[in-house]
A and B are shown apart, each in its own frame.
Chain A
């Protein structure tokens, strides 16, 4: 965060001097006169990289008048890399990023407004609620194309042994049922110590915000004047309280997992130490690759909050997006490439490569994604209910998240502070942060 703040500050200082450079155009032309567009892709899994490269090759063979060059990027430092490139006027033309970054880059004037650049067919492919994930301040700054809900990955053997029936997407467990089941699956102490669930909370803020929607909360609310208000009422805090109860009171979730990333919990899951893991959909790839030969696992829908809107199925998500740099000299061609990449066939390829869910309605119904194998059909059913994360479009969110919410939630989950202190920190300190970003 410190690094991001410093860089943002430096960027602001340099912004005035660099406007001309930013707008000078970045689509390069090869010696042949054919424009070449750089496509910065953040795909990293082998299958996904192959799918992206194949689609770029397909585009290039069908469009000899506009070439696209595949540039492999990395999620590491992508925000700083892009900010520097934007300021220097040498940004890639087509940018793969995620929804949270669009807020800064869109409002900073670095991305092209796609509202009138995309064909009507492209706009109709994706539900309007999903477009909201990339639309703010009256502009559309990216095309959401991949998203992943949080699922419950479970050790089927342990659940069967305990006589617990498996829920399906049509009738998921409620959070109350889930708490009871996690308690039932737990075996405290001794060499066979087992926890019903492990909560990997290396990113506690995004998990808490996104899953607070399942209990009817959202924590970050839009004010009438466009600003952000932090609230922590009963519906907002219900999910965080549940995690704390499981760790501190029920002992059905280990405190040691709170600092872990999703991948760190897998060895304990395979060893039967944790019976269930709430993980993003794409972790199925890693589980399939690393699970011991006869390990029986199953993908279940995440529990829902009884009485919440949409039956508690709505999770928040920050989708992966495709955007066009404002400095790109060939915006129409870049938008045409994005249109190509988000058509049903290519989108299904990309979703399969990344083990994620596509955003387009037609692609979500594709037979290769609705198969019962490896939890695909459950994932697609849950994905149909995804909505924009409360963090999206909230200016000041990175600062609030890093400086206020992360330490407060970490202390709350581990029992260091109570609900009142958490509320005080998130709301009082948080609103001060967001007030500074009001324009």
Chain B
């Protein structure tokens, strides 16, 4: 049995909607079969009114143990660090987050807004939003770089815009079944089990990438890295191993990866020429290259591949 409280700050509810798509287990099965006791959730909680703030007061006072505090959405600090742009139960939401984080065994940030600040934190960041323990790449965020929850871990970040339902449900099950010791986190506090491989791992166009065959919108086949800004080789996430809605992924649907599990999404802060386009030097050299390679080496190798005759079977497509 694990008590879960799920709150939303500067959120679109997208992570909740994604979570409701979960299968094996479904949200209902998490509750009925896996001992996840959802103390309250803004979209599906039954309690309303003072019952909710009473519940939170009881949690704060330790009368009700809080095993997992899930937060979705950015921490809204504006204006001028008052947090009054986001009230919840008549108080700035950020004040609730601070207090609840102190009593929770584990704090889980779900989605980019909770982990890194997300889209609300894009310049000029009108709501002064930040993530729980990061603002973009910078460690600190709302709770501070040194924050460790009672259970001994920093905020467990499950980024993505939205996070995949399985990333959320499997981590909740891991905590509920006593496997917290197996959850290793990376430099951005992401569970390595989901965020070690790159989106490119399992992409159906990976051979096109290797042989530098361009794709594009409305086309079958080809790699989206060269023209329409795919970030699959720079983005750690299991989108092409644990498929979305059980059937697909962005890149399999000819949709460039937007890099939404990496801090900095939307990358280049939406500046002119950066949206659904590959930013280039001299009109040909991609500004962002696959993680782990130096630009010079990448350009050399890619240039070499580009001039070699490629395997023509790769360009065969069928309706």
Q: Are A and B a genuine interacting pair, yes or no?
A: no
